[in-house]
């Protein structure tokens, strides 16, 4: 956990440890970089407002690392824009302060459980989703997806043409019983669509079914 407010950090660490997780706190960006030099944790709970800068700057570094930990961002209400940017940079989720330390611990458990390997699957129209290699490409071009974008696409690619509801996607990608704002899912889809478009995929490949969810179009 990267958090400079020791009252918040203590309450969260207490819940995480009581749940049997090994948890450590770093109070600054510098301390976090130091602490993650060796083995990276499975999950990083990252406050954005830190004494030596924004926690945001840590996200690309974590995403580039081989073990690519899950990231939950902590924000204040006025950090909305930064929080959407954090999701687009690869963060899994965000929690707005004030929050319940127990609820946060439950989210940490949920994201830690995610990401079991799935079998390779080839979808329509030049899209290849390699679940073991965790890589997706269109017409041979690597899409460079974030973890969440990849997971969402992989669920859709399992059954092209079938509509997946937001609830289904959240349960599969974030975990059962996970409560997530609609716009969080939409924001990940926005990033996914942008990358597909950049690779030359038709705009209709991933389709929004208004009021229901999302689907991957079948080849005609």
Burial label, 40 (beta-carbon count in 10 A; 0-12, 13-18, 19+): middle
Question: What tokens does 30 get?
Answer: 């510098």
Does the protein bind Ca ion through residue 47 (CB under 5 A)?
yes
Q: How far is the C-alpha of 63 from the C-alpha of 57, rounded, in Å? A: 11
Does the protein bind Ca ion through residue 92 (CB under 5 A)?
no
Q: How far is the C-alpha of 185 from the C-alpha of 128, rounded, in Å? A: 22
* Residues in 143-202 at the binding interface with Ca ion, rule: CB under 5 A: none
Does the protein bind Ca ion through residue 55 (CB under 5 A)?
no
CA distances from residue 162 to 130, 159, 208 in whole angstroms, order as listed: 19, 6, 12
Shortest distance (Å) from residue 58 CB to Ca ion: 13
Shortest distance (Å) from residue 47 CB to Ca ion: 5
Shortest distance (Å) from residue 74 CB to Ca ion: 8
- From residue 1 to residue 40, the character string flagging contacts with Ca ion as x (rule: CB under 5 A) and all else as - is ---x------------------------------------
**CB-closest chain residue to Ca ion:** 49
70 contacts 44 by C-beta, under 8 angstroms: yes
Size of the site for Ca ion (CB under 5 A): 3
Shortest distance (Å) from residue 12 CB to Ca ion: 13
Q: Which helix (H) or strand (E) holds 191?
A: helix 182-198
Which one among 1, 2, 12, 49 touches Ca ion, defined by CB under 5 A? Answer: 49
φ, ψ for residue 94, nearest 5 deg = -135, 155
* Residues in 118-137 at the binding interface with Ca ion, rule: CB under 5 A: none
Q: Which is nearer to Ca ion, 27 or 93 (CB)?
A: 27
Alpha helix positions (H), 19-128: 29-35, 58-64, 80-89, 101-113
User: Residues interacting with Ca ion, by CB under 5 A?
Assistant: 4, 47, 49
């Amino acid at each position: 956990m990267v958090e400079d407010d020791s009252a918040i950090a203590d309450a969260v660490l207490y819940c995480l440890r009581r749940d049997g997780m090994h948890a450590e706190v770093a109070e600054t960006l510098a301390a976090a970089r130091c602490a993650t030099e060796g083995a990276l944790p499975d999950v990083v709970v990252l406050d954005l407002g830190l004494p030596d800068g924004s926690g945001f700057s840590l996200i690309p570094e974590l995403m580039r690392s081989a073990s690519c930990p899950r990231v939950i961002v902590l924000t204040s209400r006025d950090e909305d824009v930064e929080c959407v940017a954090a999701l687009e940079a690869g963060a899994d989720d965000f929690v707005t302060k004030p929050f319940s330390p127990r609820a946060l611990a439950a989210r940490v458990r949920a994201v830690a459980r995610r990401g079991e390997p799935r079998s390779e699957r080839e979808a329509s129209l030049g899209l290849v989703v390699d679940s073991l290699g965790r890589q997706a490409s269109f017409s041979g071009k690597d899409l460079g997806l974030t973890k969440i974008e990849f997971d969402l696409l992989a669920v859709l690619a399992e059954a092209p043409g079938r509509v997946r509801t937001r609830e289904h996607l959240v349960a599969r990608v974030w975990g059962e019983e996970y409560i997530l704002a609609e716009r969080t899912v939409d924001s990940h889809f926005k990033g996914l669509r942008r990358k597909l478009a950049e690779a030359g995929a038709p705009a209709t490949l991933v389709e929004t079914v208004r009021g229901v969810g999302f689907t991957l179009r079948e080849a005609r």
